[in-house]
């Protein structure tokens, strides 16, 4: 079953347009709303209470939402397919969080604590408040804390399942390695972001310390050149999932090496649709990457409105051997495109393993009529 994701930001779409699009969403459509507090509260509450089985994801941030807005909208989010995520929850007053924790209990909800802005004391307090097993919890940038703060957070987590991210930009390499050596419990999943901010030797040392533990690693070819990335991939453990942005800057030969080094692991490759090019020696990089990949691989093409349809549609149509995400920027779609509704054209040929995504819905001049055609095509 092909899938459609419609992603919008509350500050860039009117409530009427959001309501029209959400009402037209079918069973194959996931709707994501970031900054829901930016829409009129009373109207949005009514929509949430009547959402029914439609798939809706609410993305809150403690940096922009206040507690009163959060509580009102979470209380109205009663649909069985409605999920909610609260990032930077530490930016909300601690005294108000027990009520938030009670609203999340028993539902598919998630929170994250940002240690770049939280003290270890507040992080520990939040961990002790949000104990319901249905609430997914992440500690972001743990390495921003002192060694003592890291110890306190790990002790507070105990045996609860948590995702811990370590950010290469936030501390010294020694602090990251210290965190890795302490995060040994099986209930903890490690995620290393901004890996390109570390040297190849340091990142290799970090991955060696991770070993066979479950982990994920995010890299960007623009931060760590292809040679460095290939060296790092050779060290990554068997249970380390790898995500690489700017994959369009690899040569075809380098992409082949990436696949070989990550064989048997989960691999995500992101190509910039506006910068796709043909390798002068070995031919089309995206087409070959899609053809050679398996179901452990996810390939994303962003700004997919830019490549010619004659180029992109055959790739979409022949991608059933792998997971393909084709992402269009709604703020850059045009009602006067000579090819018509390019998103609908993509949906029409998409394999069951393909996800079609439209970001920045409502941000720009693309008409509601065209969005409704996209939803109709998705079913």
- At 213, the pLDDT band (50, 70, 90 cuts) reads very high
- At 338, the pLDDT band (50, 70, 90 cuts) reads confident
Q: Structural domains in the chain?
A: 3-378 (3.80.10)
Query: For the segment 26-52, what is each residue's pLDDT rounded down to a tens digit?
Result: 999 999 999 999 999 999 999 999 999
Say whether pLDDT at 125 is over 70. Answer: yes
Question: H or E stretch including 60?
Answer: strand 55-61
Per-residue model confidence (pLDDT) at position 180: 95
Per-residue model confidence (pLDDT) at position 62: 96
Say whether pLDDT at 1 is over 90. Answer: no
Closest CA to 198 of 161, 173, 227, 235: 173
In 3-state terms, what secondary structure has residue 28? coil
Do strands 240-245 and 109-114 pair parallel, antiparallel, or not at all (unpaired)?
unpaired
Closest CA to 217 of 182, 262, 248: 262
* Averaged pLDDT for residues 350-377: 95
* Averaged pLDDT for residues 334-344: 92
Do strands 267-272 and 240-245 pair parallel, antiparallel, or not at all (unpaired)?
parallel
Say whether pLDDT at 141 is over 90. Answer: yes
Cβ–Cβ under 8 Å, residues 192 and 165: yes
Closest CA to 126 of 161, 100, 147: 100
Cβ–Cβ under 8 Å, residues 304 and 272: no
* Averaged pLDDT for residues 110-121: 98
How many of the other CB atoms lie within 10 Å of CB of 161?
Answer: 13
Cβ–Cβ under 8 Å, residues 275 and 303: no
* Averaged pLDDT for residues 189-217: 93
Cβ–Cβ under 8 Å, residues 269 and 262: no
**Which residues of 67-214 form beta strands (DSSP E)?**
82-87, 109-114, 135-140, 162-167, 188-193
- At 284, the pLDDT band (50, 70, 90 cuts) reads confident
What global pTM score does this model have?
A: 0.94
């Amino acid at each position: 079953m092909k899938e459609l994701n419609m992603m919008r930001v509350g500050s860039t779409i009117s409530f009427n347009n959001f309501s029209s699009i959400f009402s037209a969403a079918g069973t194959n459509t996931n709707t994501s709303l970031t900054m829901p507090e930016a829409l009129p509260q009373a109207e949005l509450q009514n929509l949430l209470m009547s959402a029914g089985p439609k798939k809706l994801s609410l993305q809150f941030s403690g940096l922009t939402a206040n507690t009163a807005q959060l509580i009102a909208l979470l209380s109205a989010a009663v649909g069985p397919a409605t999920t909610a995520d609260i990032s930077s929850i530490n930016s909300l007053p601690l005294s108000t969080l027990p009520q938030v924790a009670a609203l999340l209990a028993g539902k598919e909800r998630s929170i994250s604590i940002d240690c770049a802005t939280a003290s270890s004391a507040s992080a520990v307090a939040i961990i002790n408040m949000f104990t319901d097993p249905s609430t997914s919890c992440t500690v972001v940038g743990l390495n921003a804390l002192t060694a003592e703060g890291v110890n306190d957070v790990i002790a507070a987590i105990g045996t609860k399942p948590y995702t811990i991210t370590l950010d290469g930009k936030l501390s010294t390499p020694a602090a990251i390695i210290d965190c890795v050596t302490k995060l040994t419990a099986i209930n903890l999943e490690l995620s290393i972001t901004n890996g390109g901010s570390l040297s190849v030797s340091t990142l290799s040392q970090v991955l060696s310390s991770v070993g066979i533990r479950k982990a994920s690693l995010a890299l960007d070819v623009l931060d760590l050149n292809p040679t460095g990335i290939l060296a790092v991939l050779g060290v990554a453990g068997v249970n380390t999932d790898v995500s690489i942005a700017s994959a369009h800057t690899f040569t075809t030969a380098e992409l082949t090496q990436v696949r070989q080094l990550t064989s048997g692991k989960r691999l995500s490759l992101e190509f910039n649709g506006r910068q796709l090019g043909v390798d002068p020696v070995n031919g089309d990089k995206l087409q070959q990457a899609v053809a050679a990949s398996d179901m452990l691989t996810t390939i994303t093409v962003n700004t997919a409105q830019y490549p010619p349809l004659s180029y992109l549609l055959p790739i979409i149509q022949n991608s059933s051997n792998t997971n393909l995400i084709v992402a269009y920027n709604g703020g850059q779609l045009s009602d006067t495109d000579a090819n018509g509704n390019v998103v609908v054209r993509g949906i029409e040929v998409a394999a069951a393993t393909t996800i079609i995504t439209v970001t920045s819905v409502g941000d720009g001049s693309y008409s509601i009529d065209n969005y409704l055609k996209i939803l109709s095509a998705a079913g």
